[in-house]
Amino acid sequence: MKKWMIGLLAVLGACLLTGCSVESGERQKLSEPEYTIVAQEDIPEELMTQIEAAKTEEMKLTYADDGTLYIVRGYGAQPGGSSIQVLELYCTQDGIVFDTQLVGGGKNAEDETTSAYPYIVVKLLCGEQNVVFE
């Protein structure tokens, strides 16, 4: 067999092996850390300043302070009565996955004329890590 054919087969084999190793892109859940949903009055001042500046648009923020990680998810202007639910929060080899969902509001909201800027802040005792927002 010619050298160029061997090289081509090696490259094709490497591509096939690489493609197989990334099956569906799912992250392996290693653990589910304990977290606390933070009340507005307990949010660190510096983080609250960042939230206030960004709350009118969709936001995904993290803030680390002395071994504590704060994760913030906001959805911008929404009808009154909207809130945010944590669907999943878990650790993977690459960091933390944070999945939330906007609930309430919409056509059946009690007060459709009022806009709100719902956001949620969770606190974990784990220091600074990569966060994937889903």
The per-residue pLDDT for range 35-93, each reduced to its tens digit, is: 999 999 999 999 999 999 999 999 999 999 989 999 999 999 998 889 999 999 999 99
Residue 30 in domain: yes
Whether 121 is in a domain gets the answer: yes
Work out the angle at residue 61's Cα, subtended by the Cα atoms of residues 57 and 66, and round it to the nearest 5 degrees: 150
**Overall number of domains in the chain:** 1
Q: Evaluate whether residue 128 is within a structural domain.
A: yes
Q: How far apart are CA 38 and CA 44, in angstroms?
A: 10
- Domain assignment present for residue 21? The answer is no
Query: Which of 98, 35, 103, 97 is closest to 75 using CA atoms?
Result: 103
Q: Would you say residue 37 lies in a domain?
A: yes
Q: What is the pTM of this model?
A: 0.74
**Spatial distance between the Cα atoms of 65 and 47, rounded to a whole number of angstroms:** 10
pLDDT by residue (tens digit) across 13-35? 333 333 322 223 567 899 999 99
Q: Is 104 a member of any domain?
A: yes
- Count the helices and strands in the chain (H runs, E runs): 2, 9
- Smallest CA-to-CA distance from 88 within 24, 55, 37, 134 is with 134
Residue 36 sits in which domain range? 26-133
